[in-house]
Amino acid sequence: MSLIALGIFAIISPFFILAIYRKHKSVYKNIPGPPPKTWVAGNLLELVFQKSLIIFDKWVQEYGSTYKWAGIMGVERITTVDPGAINFILQNVKLFVKPKGQMLALKRFVGDGLVNNEGAAHRRQRRALNPAFSPAHIRELGPVFHRHAENMKARMDAIFDGSVQDESVLHHDNLKYKDEKQGLGLDMLALSERSAGDTVASAMFGYEFNFVNDPTHPVIPALRNASYIAINDLDRALAELSETFPWMDKIHTPGWKSGNEAKLTTWKYGKELVEKRQAQQAEVDDYEGKDVLSLLAHSTGTDPNLREDLKLSSTEALNQFSTAFLAGTGTTGAALAWAFYYLAKNPKVQEKLREELNSVGTDEPDSDTLHSLVYLENFTHELMRIEAPVPLVVREPIEDIFLPVSRPIEGMDGTKSDSILVSKGTMILIPIQSVNRDKRIWGEDALEFNPDRFDRNGLPAEKIVSSYGNILSFIGGLRNCIGFRFSMAEFKHTLFSVLRHYSFEELPSTPKIAAHLPIAVTRPHVVGMSGPDSYKMPLVVRRLDH
């Protein structure tokens, strides 16, 4: 045996022994699941290098609602789409926490923000920000949402008029596609994300970036890079590996560096804005601002009457700024792009929705008016069900615990059980898309896009702890998405302004679009393409005559 072979054997032997040991001591021997592909990587390669989320659907079909699978060196993990198990996990936030590896991966993009903390720190940060996302304050933001929706529509008008040549939006594979009805190939993801970024900055921070009209703004690369990094294979693989080997998060990949640059870019603006708002607050007694920036400035200020449970450090404030800005831009921007995609795929749905929007008796409806539109609500609900902005809920118990299930688990030996003993530190994955598309909850056509399903009796057939309409897209319980009302109102205002004046169709080449599995936020991905340029939503857009 050569010295090189001996060296390799010496390195891998301990891990091989560890894998065998874990296999024989497993507490999940009787739980079904896919066999590991390799003893080193388990099933991780199947998960990390998937270009979509369908692997979870495949495993649910083969192994049931609750199953096990193997991570690095045989570390066993549990995945469940069982409503009883999900409800138990989401309702017991002190028993089930986010894994360290996931928080390390998120930290490189947003620091220790609201989505990246547990326990007392999370409660304090959320308490400080709650007023900015209350129903009353979101209602007051209606004019801001409308203004930026109209800005997006105006940018599209300028592109069609030829008064601007926006190369970042024009779809280059389709530049020649322009017929007598003035159809253009446009990347609706780029335009939607820029509009969402403007809306978040304006409504949350009182700042006007004007991304829609300035595609060269220096913050835009940071936004796009952060989104791409979170879904590229290398950084997702390292995020998975850091669950077993925490030191691997210290590896500074190109993705890590770009992610850190995105965070520092948002920090730069955040620091300037917080300091400016603090100066404004100091000049006015009883400053009543309820936007995110005002709350951050007040929580880090010198008010002697500020409660201890509302105080934030300067670093915490910057982390909240990054979290709100990057998350708010990425989720709503992608949701709008998906909306235009499903409208293009379903022309009858598009026409019905446009007819309802045209029936509104004003060009400037408030948010309550939009929320009262039944088909718009059904469309929004269905869009969020079929394309969740966040792909996974990941938790681990802080102690050994029996996890109840509402769908009995059939063990490898044929016995059935209504609970499973989950060991302390075992990662539990809840694939949101699989839950949202579960036929046992939403009917046999659950994989299809159909806004009319919400008019049926008997649906949903099973209940999920949820912030919005029995779907997991904004999670549920005490760790639900704090900004879901903000996102829904912004989404509806944008559709109102754009869809009344523009129609959407698939490109003649009908490229396949899929949601790419990320660390944080899903984005539309053109199948067959790679790199940052693969994340787009190319559609034929036509201006309507009025």
Residues annotated within a binding site for heme: 481
Report which of 68, 96, 92, 97 is spatially closest to residue 80, judged by C-alpha positions.
68
* Residue 212 half-sphere exposure toward CB, CA atoms < 13 A: 25
- The tokens 């209606």 sit on which residue? 142
List the beta bridge partners of residue 38. Answer: 42
Side chain identity, residue 128: A
Q: H or E segment at 439?
A: helix 439-442
Q: Is 113 left (phi over 0), alpha (psi -120 to 50) or beta?
A: beta
CA 480 → CA 78, 393, 412, 468, 484, distances in Å?
21, 11, 35, 10, 9
CA distance 287 to 293: 12
Side chain identity, residue 76: E
Q: Which residues are annotated as a binding site?
A: 481
Q: Is 105 exposed, middle or buried (0-12, 13-18, 19+ CB in 10 A)?
A: buried
DSSP state of 186: E
Contact 449, 345 (CB under 8 A): yes
Q: Is 6 exposed, middle or buried (0-12, 13-18, 19+ CB in 10 A)?
A: exposed
CA distance 466 to 469: 7
- The tokens 């939403």 sit on which residue? 442
| Phi, psi for 172 (deg, rounded to 5) | -65, -25
Q: Is 540 exposed, middle or buried (0-12, 13-18, 19+ CB in 10 A)?
A: buried
| Burial call 235-264: b when 16+ CB within 10 Å, e when fewer | bbbbbbbbbeeeebbeeeeebbebbbebbe
Contact 181, 503 (CB under 8 A): no
Cis peptide upstream of residue 365 (ω within 30 degrees of 0)? no
Which ranges of 346-417 does DSSP label H, i.e. alpha helix? 347-358, 367-371, 374-386
CA distance 52 to 36: 20
